[in-house]
Amino acid sequence: MNCRFSLTVGGDQAVFRFFPRYPYHFFHERDDDMTYHDFSETPPEIVKLAERSIEGYKIDPALYTQYDVKRGLRDLNGNGVVAGLTNISTIKVLDTGEDMPNHGDGKLYYRGIDVEDIVSGFIKEKRFGFEETVYLLLFGNMPSEHELSEFRKILADYRSLPPTFIRDVIMKAPSDNMMNSLAKSVLALYSYDESANDISIPNVLRQCIELITLFPLLSVYGYNAYKYSRHGGSLFIHDPAPDLSIAENILYMLRPNKHYSELEARILDLALVLHAEHGGGNNSTFTVHVVSSSGTDTYSSIAAALGSLKGPKHGGANIKVAMMFDDMKANVGDWSDEDEVKGYLRRLLHKEAFDKAGLIYGMGHAVYSQSDPRAKVFKGFVEKLSAEKGREEEFRLYSLVEKLAPEVIADERRIYKGVCANVDFYSGFVYRMLGIPDELFTPLFATARIAGWSAHRIEELINSNKIIRPAYKAISPMREYTDMENRID
């Protein structure tokens, strides 16, 4: 069922049709007999063309070794190929002194300062730490009390969207994927910025600060619009409170009653700090460097990073962990039985359980082998939150899997280095305990990582005057052109 109406302008009549399936969308109809294809359907003829073309894309894996191509920009030992220099963060694996390279505890440093020390500092002094972490990443030093106060004021001053932006952008064509909604909103902000294309450092810094403080609004409002349009119920839009931290405002805006506990806000703040930055080589941050090197605007650069982070191999991993545990809890009778839990983990690796991908999500990292410092810091606070929420049994299951998974993986895969829980292992569990919907897991990651992206964008603009352009080895055979009459179907 659809509704039609006509509008006459300057003597010409245009007919519009409203489709309830696409809320807030009107389609211009030039002819009453015009037909519309299903925008989401892949017709048989496209499937057939795809099948014909696939063989032409395949590359023999042996050729990567033959031409010494580092697949995924990694060498045979899994180490990243050096593609640039950065001052912003450092990822290390401590030397154990044994004949086992890359097997020590992991360490993460922001601007040369151990993240574990940063966390200990603001927790000991009972401060929210994300804002001062943003300051450190952007400006290179920990802020003084006065500098932090002034920076918080700047963030609060920019924490408002342009007039009608919610109505004209966020409420129109809400997506069921919040990362797409977030990217759409970021690109739309370009139209409201009269200096959008100015890539001078002061202007870029202003744009980055605006995006850092607006990401919580864009994420929460995008989710509320989606929930209202697709599932009905009440629509509420809470203005952020200028005196609250970014973590507090997320909970304040997301919850209908605006209420949250101090522990809830502090553990969300900790999650933002631990996700704020992770070196220049992760996929989304490298995307920021690549796109920024072209000289494009800030909004395009950050939107590109959002597209990267959306992928399940990157920012979507914590959702996979949470879903895996949902399946585990449904299929393991005794959560404390080590043999039963091990059996489920083996079924995961044998592609017999959950999504049959052969993976134990949340275990393993490209750099860390013995421990991920972010997961190590996070775990103690997760235990406290599970006690407050009455979910200690689930926490014990997570802890048991963290203990058993490395043993099972080592036994099944005969790996040469250790495997540890990464930061995604616990973050989905935390977000669910906070009542944060799964759809917002990855946007929360982006709300934290925009701090690092911003710092890397500025670093790229200051230090590089060359566009990033890696080489690809062409392996297709040379062929003669064939006239149309001689081509075969």
Active site residues: 365, 424
Q: Measuring CA to CA, how many Å separate 431 from each of 29, 208, 270, 366, 396?
A: 45, 26, 12, 24, 17
* DSSP code string of 319-335: HHHHHHHHHHHHH-S-T
User: Alpha-carbon distance 424 to 3, whole Å?
Assistant: 46
Of 428, 394, 238, give the one whose Cα is nearest residue 322. Answer: 428
5: helix, strand or coil? strand
| Contact partners, residue 155, CB within 8 Å, separation at least 6 | 131, 209, 212, 213, 246
Beta bridge partners of 92: 107
Print burial letters for 21-32: b (CB count within 10 Å at least 16), e (below 16): eebeeeeeeeee
User: Rounded to the nearest 5°, which phi and psi values hold at 470?
Assistant: -70, 160
Q: Where are the beta strands (DSSP E) in 102-145?
A: 106-110, 113-114
* 46 class by beta-carbon count within 10 Å (0-12 exposed, 13-18 middle, 19+ buried): exposed
User: Alpha-carbon distance 361 to 322, whole Å?
Assistant: 9
Of 299, 315, 152, 177, give the one whose Cα is nearest residue 240. Answer: 152
Q: Which two tokens stand for residue 199?
A: 């890539």
* 115 class by beta-carbon count within 10 Å (0-12 exposed, 13-18 middle, 19+ buried): buried
